Structure formats: C-alpha cells, structure tokens
Amino acid sequence: MDNVKSQRLQNGTKTLDIVYCAIGVALIAVCSWITVPMTVPFTLQTLAVFAVLLLLGGERGTIATLVYVLMGAIGIPVFAGFSGGLGILLGSTGGYIIGFIFIGLIYMVMTKVFGKKLHIEIIALVLGLIVCYAFGTGWFMYVYMKSSGPVGLLTVLSWCVFPFIIPDLAKMAVAVIISRRVRPYIK
C-alpha cells in the first residue's frame, strides 16, 4: 500500500514539474515577444530566463530554458519578433539565445553546490550572464567574419554587449524582486 501511495506522489510531482516547465517556457516566449523601445531596443527575454530560474529552481528552470531554445530551433515562433527556426540560432545573434542554457546550467550547479541563498543566486545569474555574453559574442564574431570580413572585439562588444549590460542587470534585479514575492507560492 505504501508503494502505491509513493508511486502516486512521485507521479504527481512529475506532472507538477512538467506543468511548471511548460509555464516557464511560455513565460520566456511571451517575454521574448515584448520589445522595449530604446536607443537600442531590447526584449524582456532575459528577464523571463532569470525569473524562471529563480522561481522554478535550477533543474526545472534550465529544462524550461532548454525546451524554449529547442522549440525555437524546430521552427516554432518563440524567439523575438515571433521568429523561429534553426536559421535564427545559426545567425549572428543565435549564440546569445544558446547562451541562456549556460545561464541555467551555471545557476543549477552553483545553487546545488552552495545552496539557494540570495547572494549565491545573484552571483550565479551574473556569472551565467557573463558566459552568455562571451559565448554570444564569440558566435557573433564568427558568423559576422564569415559573411562580412574582420571585425574587432571592442567593436562587437559595443554593438552586442555594452548597450545591454545595464538593462540586463536591471532585469535581473526585477526578477529577484518578483521571485521573492512569488516563490513562497510555488511547490
């Protein structure tokens, strides 16, 4: 009898995990479609990635992020501008989208090793963002140089990273605030 109860509890937990991951994927997709018009426009995609990780935890958040990227890769229009397809990921800015997975992996490992304390979570997100920037910038340079010729690292950083540092840190702060309010209601 205990095995039956244990099995039901485990199945219920798996179902809940799937539901939370699906909600995380939907949140990232919807936020990627929201563009904030600035001198250099940006989406709320990174806000959603940060929030999903903080709210769902490392494992579920990383799975949601990975599923989001895979859905976009197979052509479902979940990326910015209602776009999707392998061409987006293989394009010049695709490395930044793939970099979201690194944010999740770093967050997952750091919170497993050091615990889910606020300062650890913030450090994990910042390190993940740095890795995302590095991977995305390397990817951008490779794709750009194949199609348009040589380009300097500082030039690429001025196009692809510097304009987004402050907005991304602000989005991280908003995600932390949201997660502190909402997390107590998530199992």
Q: For 123-140, how does the pLDDT look when each residue is reduced to its tens digit (9 = 90+)? A: 999 999 999 999 999 999
Residue 132 pLDDT = 99
Q: Where are the beta strands (DSSP E) in the chain?
A: 35-36, 42-43
Torsion of CA 142, 147, 149, 153, to 10 degrees: -30
- DSSP letter (8 states) at residue 36: E
Residue 187 pLDDT = 78
Residue 175 pLDDT = 99
| Residue 119 clears pLDDT 60, i.e. is over it | yes
Residue 41 pLDDT = 78
User: Which pLDDT band holds residue 150 (cuts at 50, 70, 90)?
Assistant: very high
Q: What is the CA radius of gyration of the chain?
A: 18
Angle at 19 between CA 123 and CA 173, to 5 degrees: 25
User: What is the model's pTM?
Assistant: 0.92
Sorted by where each starts, the structural domains of the chain and their CATH numbers stand as: 2-185 (1.10.1760.20)
Share of the chain above pLDDT 90, in %: 88
Closest to 146 in 3D by CA, of 84, 98, 92, 85: 92
Q: What is the mean pLDDT of the chain?
A: 94
Q: How many CB atoms lie within 10 A of CB 85?
A: 15
> 130 and 110 in contact (C-beta within 8 Å)?
no
